[in-house]
Amino acid sequence: MPSRSIRIGGASGYWGESAMATPQLLDAGVDYLVYDYLAEITMSIMARAHARDPVAGYAGDFISAVLKPHARAIAAQGVKVIANAGGVNPAACGEAARTLIREQGLDLKVAVITGDNLLAEVDAIAAAAPTEMFTGATFPDKDRIASINAYLGAFPIARALAEGADIVITGRCVDSAVTLGACIHEFGWSASDHDLLASGSLAGHLLECGPQATGGNYTDWEEAGDIANIGYPIGTVSPDGSFTMSKPEGTGGCVTVGTVSEQMLYEIGDPQAYVLPDVVCDFSDVEITRLGLDEVRVSPARGYPAPDHYKTCLTYGEGFRGGTYVSFYGFDAARKAQKFCDNVFARARHILRGHNLGDYSETSVELLGTESQFGDFARDHEPREVVAKIAAKHSDAAAIAILLRELTGLGLATPPGLSGFSGARAKPSPVVRLFSYLTPKEDIAIRIDVDGQSIAFSDSPGQAFDPSSLIRPADPELPGISDTIVSEPLIRLAWARSGDKGNKANIGVIARDPACLPFIWAALTPDFVAERFGHFIDGGADAARIEKYYLPGSHAINFLIDAVLGGGGVASIRNDAQGKGYGQILLAHPVAIPATLADKLDDQEGQSR
């Protein structure tokens, strides 16, 4: 096995992110640049663009903001580039890249990986009628489907690199595959090297969201400093699967045990069964330790054999949605805002009846600055300024247009204190829902095109995975306490990061000091979390389905809350449709700890200042 490590720069976490990462990472010196552009909703947007224009449907930013200004430096430094920029049209993205390379007179070989896009097979898939893998819902009307994509893995990427590709462009693959593919190629890892594959996947998971590993969305956000110049993450991966996380010198942000731990727990479910196409990962015993300023070591993960299927996601239309924000200030701001919203709906419904359009299928009013985000745990003062978010869904775009018109039309009849900054009136937009199911690996035909040379690729067949076979760690136990007990907010004891998985939200909680973990575990019961988020959960706290997992290696807990995002993504009309702020809500919860432990935390805070 090779002895040298490789440096991989995480240069993009979503389609539309800042273009500052590429030159920054090239200046820092990396072997690979990896780009993750795709989310489920991104696929539906690209699919609609492709339906209008057969040349569209990929991340044009990859061509205009990455390759066009930086291809010469990439070629001169011998850096390999891997990106899932292909979206629903990787062939067109590859052709655009090759055209640009020819125009610049460069000698760079481009590989394009296809096989993930199953939209052409919609009739056969609809006839088979798979059910939704999380909810058991029936297959949607095929005429409303916008995109269908299997989540491919890393071995096709490794094969493309072995064929001499300098730039690898994929359609939908799992986010971490762009990193794992480089590791497989460089280190010769095989499909049976389960622990190594899980470790490389973890490196990819930490890199895939760019600066979220270097101070972005961090609980201790002030430590990130100059986020205008935030450093993008660099993973230095060793052949044994261990790696360090760092960032370019002279950049803002920070790389700490907290930033890396938060990102490890971001948007995962069961940390012992993180299922990817190449391996089932177990992150529960991973240890994260500080090596020095802005340098953290991550120990290898554990892995199990790859599954025998690909997760497949389709998106489909389900009517329209629309809404906007207005603000009220002064005395009784919240009551003024509520009356305004109530009367907007009253007017709009009167017009709907006149047009025989039927009522809105779902409405939402959130008074931001009041209890709307914190439920019964809200602040107890009367706000003098609130922002009202008002939105609705309907099967007909005309009904949404009526609501948006009346939102503007009530402006002179409103209670006093209405304000807000706006330009053009908001417009109806499609409601796009996500439907996930499993596709047997043998049903997917993967091809790799390396500058005109087409190669058929067969993935390893994998095997069925049984999560009941896992050995779970014992729950942390409270020590014997003879000390005075004090109450501290969770934020003093822990970091937290939350995110979305369809209509589920996860909240990862990491103890700042291992001694705090038993007390946090005891305080944050599933029943308590259900109560805390009951105002968001479909059916309320009594209907909550919450899973709680323990990660002893990182002194962490992960919660997975079902049916809590109002459908999630652009199927939701919530203010926080992706649960990004849920960790902040949980951090306000009081936790009972011994006074001596509180004093220890005081000392640690003082030393860190």
Instruction: Count the neighbouring beta carbons within 10 Å of the beta carbon of residue 546.
Output: 19
Q: From 307, 209, 309, 196, select the one nearest 243 (Cα to Cα).
A: 196
pLDDT confidence of residue 391: 98
Phi (first) and psi of residue 504, to 5 degrees: -105, 155
Q: What is the pTM of this model?
A: 0.95
Instruction: Count the neighbouring beta carbons within 10 Å of the beta carbon of residue 225.
Output: 14
pLDDT confidence of residue 374: 61
Q: Measured between alpha carbons, how far is 363 from 341 in angstroms, rounded to an integer?
A: 11
Q: Measured between alpha carbons, how far is 11 from 83 in angstroms, rounded to an integer?
A: 10
Q: What architecture is the 318-433 domain classified under in CATH?
A: 2-Layer Sandwich (3.30)
In the structure, how many helices (H) and strands (E) does the chain have?
17, 26
Q: Measured between alpha carbons, how far is 4 from 9 in angstroms, rounded to an integer?
A: 17
Contacts of 513 (CB under 8 A, 6+ apart): 493, 597, 600, 601, 604
pLDDT confidence of residue 606: 67
Q: Are 234 and 28 in contact (CB under 8 A)?
A: yes
Q: Which two tokens stand for residue 304?
A: 């199990």
| Residues 463, 465, 469, 475, CA torsion sign | positive
Phi (first) and psi of residue 602, to 5 degrees: -60, -45
Residue count (the chain): 609
Q: Measured between alpha carbons, how far is 252 from 221 in angstroms, rounded to an integer?
A: 12
Q: Measured between alpha carbons, how far is 110 from 165 in angstroms, rounded to an integer?
A: 5
- How do the domains of the chain map onto residue ranges? 6-116+151-306, 318-433, 485-608
Q: Are 165 and 450 in contact (CB under 8 A)?
A: yes
Q: Block means of pLDDT (10 residues each) for the chain, length 609 residues? A: 87 93 98 94 89 95 98 98 98 98 98 97 97 95 95 98 98 98 98 98 98 97 96 98 97 98 97 98 98 97 98 95 96 96 97 97 94 58 90 98 95 93 87 95 97 95 92 93 91 97 95 97 96 94 96 98 93 94 96 93 73
- Cα 219 from chain centroid (whole Å): 17
Q: Measured between alpha carbons, how far is 360 from 382 in angstroms, rounded to an integer?
A: 31
